[in-house]
Structure 1
Amino acid sequence: MREKLMNLLNEREEEMIALRRYFHENPETSHQEYKTADKIADFYAGKDVKVERNVGNGLGIVVTIQGNKPGKKIGLRADFDALPIMEETGLPFASQNPGVMHACGHDGHTAYLMILADCLIQLKEEWSGTVKIVHQHAEEVPPSGGKSIAESGVLEDLDEIYGIHFFPDFELGEINYTSGWAFAGCSDLTIKIQGKGGHGSMPHLSNDAIVAASSLVMNLQTIVSRRINPYDMAVVTIGSFEGVGASNVIKDNLILRGDARYMDMEVGKKIEKEIRNLLRGLEESFGVETEMEYLWDYPPVYNHPEQTEKAVRALEKFGIGEYMEKAVAGPASNGAEDFGQYLLKIPGAFMNVGCKPDAEECYMNHHPKFDINEKALIIAAKAVGDITLTALEEQ
């Protein structure tokens, strides 16, 4: 059975690459992935599977593949949204949608999983159990597709769930994993500061929103340095300061946007509480009014130790020396991933697949020149295939 699956994947590697290039050339941003969802759904049309569309809060697709008899139920997830980035790769299949780019590898995630799913469909009479293929929309921005799919009830019967992410800072042939806390939680925050505008020559008659906001930006860092245990991971970032005005006008209001990251939900709650405390102090000190939206959308990714060990055992038994070079235990990442939404409800594991390009310079995820080594597609397909077969067989 395994040999048949690996052979099928080898035969369809070029199709995998072609699909990746199609998605790369036709990217769509979160919650706008209409043509992408149609392309994925059309791929499964006429196959002996159940296809559910518009799962969750948007365009999610869940494909259920039934084996030859009842058994374990395993989920496999890949995301398919792109980012609002102008591509600068110069690739012959570069984005044809100006200002939108697959700069995080989701095109590759989708392509490898579609072909792996189809190979599992072809062999469905030779394995027992159920595999649910989760094609997820809107990973990049809240409200995330992962949260809505996880809460939809469509996956509540799963025993385990697995996923991967491409990262070019890992060598081709390397699969990186972390048991336990693997990725940080992330909360988006939007703060509006309402002051009292006026003439630049009469500051005493105004309440300057820019001065108040500037004080807040600096004081936010004291949450990390003075309110959080130094042994706990915490980051607070203000990435947007929207206060454009005129040189002789005291700004009436502005908006700050940023995020908070943490490995422990209690730390995330502490950060929110301390930000609100600072906002109350800001109102009193500067005579302004504040309003904050704090979105809890990306919990920390907790890889369940049993499922992580199972996945690594499958890779070391079948993959090393065949389609990959090594499986490496690595530290947790400060990056966020909404795969954590599934792991709150379903035991599973999320791993990183090295995709370092052959080019001299490597550009990381979310960079306008980001690219993956397409040889990583077949590695991901075979690795997740081995993990899936192992998970289905082990009781």
Structure 2
Amino acid sequence: MPVLPKIAEYADELTAIRRDIHQHPEIGFEEVRTSGIVARMLQSWGVEVHTGLGKTGVVGILKGKGDSGRTVGLRADMDALPMDEQTNLPFASKNPGRFHGCGHDGHTTMLLGAARYLAETRDFAGTAVFIFQPAEEGLGGARAMLADGLFDKFPCDEIYGMHNNPLAEPGKMGVKPGAAMAGASFFDITINGVGSHGAMPHHSKDPIVIASALIQNLQSVVSRNVPAVRTAVLSVTQVHSGSAYNVVPGKAVISGTIRYFDDEVMELIHHRVRTLCAGMAQAYEISIDVDLRNTFDVLMNDPDLSLAYLDAARDVVGEENVSETKDLVTGSEDFADMLKVVPGAYCTLGHKGSIPVHNPGFILDDEILPVGASIMARIVEKRMPL
């Protein structure tokens, strides 16, 4: 079975929807226009709509022709990135500093395509739940929806998500059972030193010197504390200090991210970061404030549901285009938070392109839209057959 015929019929409409959303990107918890489009379209197809979960999230409820008592959830993210677009597309972002550089406009559109198809056919026995999530890009949109009672109000037996992949072959769908994507913490470390004239540094407790030493020590955490067979990453990505050529500043801030695949490793790294900061503070007789916060959980795909997802995709893209992948991904995805509550699986779907996501030149290939919509629709039909 190729792309579902009904979805193929309105592929051009899906492209128009995606490009409209692309032109009007909104970052996390600001997706007012986008969520409005989603709600209106779902309502026009006879889907029961609930808004305001996680501030700008939308949930659609659709019952099939039969009632098995089972419920399957499908989730897409809606937010853009806070960056400028450099694609020169005729439908490029009209909002400066806002860009759908990760393909969430495509994810939203694919789920809308699946919802329309399922609303028109209803060839399943049970309930489909369409979850349009805000603020995936590090702002905790999944946790916000969960805090608002997402699965208490709309219980699901299993749930599925999808992400585009411009670096995979077009039409190739992959799922990694078990741990698949890294959990993540962000950190901000504030070094409270003592400033002085730049020509008289002996009067200072120089936070830049201390920050430099601390950064070097932080790089030893993964290489010397984490067992070599357990993957982790610690990256310092920001250093902020100083404002003049002739002033030793009084403060420096180091920021960055930690990635890991099990909570024991996360706790170990957090402990070592705090210990190193405490030791450095004592050595230099200053104070250091550490703000370490977990942002994403490890994404864990249910092994059986991963295979079910591959089986559904096989009907759309063919046996040769589905695979059970082996590689861990050190990127993070807050669909992991939903998978901690409800079992499910998260896949990647390849499309034409050579520029990675989160790059100002990233371009989503619209040909992926009916393919992704078909796979999402098919998993509902196959998991809740009439």
Q: Do they fold alike, i.e. is TM over 0.5? A: yes
Unaligned runs of at least 5 residues, structure 2 = none
**Is the 8 Å Cα contact of residues 310 and 323 (structure 2) preserved in structure 1?**
no
Q: 1: CA distance between counterparts of 2:242 and 2:12? A: 50
Alignment TM-score, normalising by the size of structure 1:
0.93
**Does 2:377 align with 1:385?**
yes
Aligned partner of residue 137 in structure 2, secondary structure: coil
Select which of 46, 49, 58 maps to 2:47. 49
Taking the aligned partners of 1:380 and 1:69, their CA distance within structure 2 comes to 25
Give distance in 1, aligned partners of 2:283 and 2:267.
25
Amino acid at match of 1:215: A
Superposition deviation, residue 154 in structure 1:
2.4
The CA distance in 1 between the partners of 2:58 and 2:82, in whole Å, is: 22
Moved more, 238-247 or 168-177: 238-247
CA distance in 2, matches of 1:371, 1:54: 30
Q: Residue 173 of structure 1 contacts residue 325 of structure 1 at CA under 8 Å; is this kept in 2? A: no
Task: Give the 3-state SS of the residue equivalent to 1:121 in structure 2.
Answer: helix
Which of 90-99 and 325-334 deviates more?
A: 325-334
Which amino acid counterpart does residue 61 of structure 1 have in structure 2?
Answer: V
2:323 counterpart residue number = 328
Shift in Å at residue 164 of structure 1? 0.5
Could you tell me how far 1:148 is from its partner in structure 2? Answer: 2.0
Match of 1:62 in 2: 59
CA contact (8 A) 1:209 1:288 kept: no
> Given residue 219 of structure 2, which amino acid in structure 1 is its aligned partner?
Q
- Partner residue of 1:376 out of 354, 368, 375: 368
Number of aligned residues:
382
3-state secondary structure, aligned to 2:151: coil
- State the partner residue of 2:108: 110
Which of 235, 247, 250 in structure 1 is aligned with 2:248?
250
Q: Which residue of 2 aligns with 1:341?
A: 337
Task: Name which of 56, 72, 75 aligns with 2:73.
Answer: 75
Map 1:1-395 → 2, pairs under 5 A: 6-56=4-54, 58-71=55-68, 72-124=70-122, 126-142=123-139, 144-156=140-152, 157-316=155-314, 318-321=315-318, 325-330=320-325, 331-357=327-353, 362-393=354-385
Q: CA RMSD in A?
A: 1.7
- Residue 384 of structure 1 aligns with an amino acid whose one-letter code is M
Superposed CA deviations along residues 57-108 of structure 1, whole A, max 9, x for unmatched, are x211111112234321000000010011111111110000111100000000
Give the CA deviation at 1:49: 2.6
CA distance in 1, matches of 2:147, 2:305: 21
Residue 302 of structure 1 aligns with an amino acid whose one-letter code is M
Structure 2 length as normaliser, TM-score?
Answer: 0.95
CA distance in 2, matches of 1:315, 1:45: 27
Percent identity of paired positions between Structure 1 and Structure 2:
33
Q: Give, in whole Å, the separation in 2 of the partners of 1:329 and 1:355.
A: 18
- The Cα shift of 1:390 comes to 1.1
Q: Is this contact kept in 1: 2:49–2:60, CA < 8 A? A: yes
- What CA distance in whole angstroms lies between the structure 2 residues aligned with 1:36 and 1:193? 41
Shift of 1:41: 1.5
Q: Deviation of residue 393 (structure 1)?
A: 2.6
SS of the equivalent of 2:150 reads coil
Encode CA deviations 1:176-197: one digit per residue, 9 max, x unaligned. Answer: 2111111011111111111111
Moved over 6 A (4+): none
CA deviation digits over 1:121-157, x for unaligned, max 9? 1223x32101110000000023x11122234332242
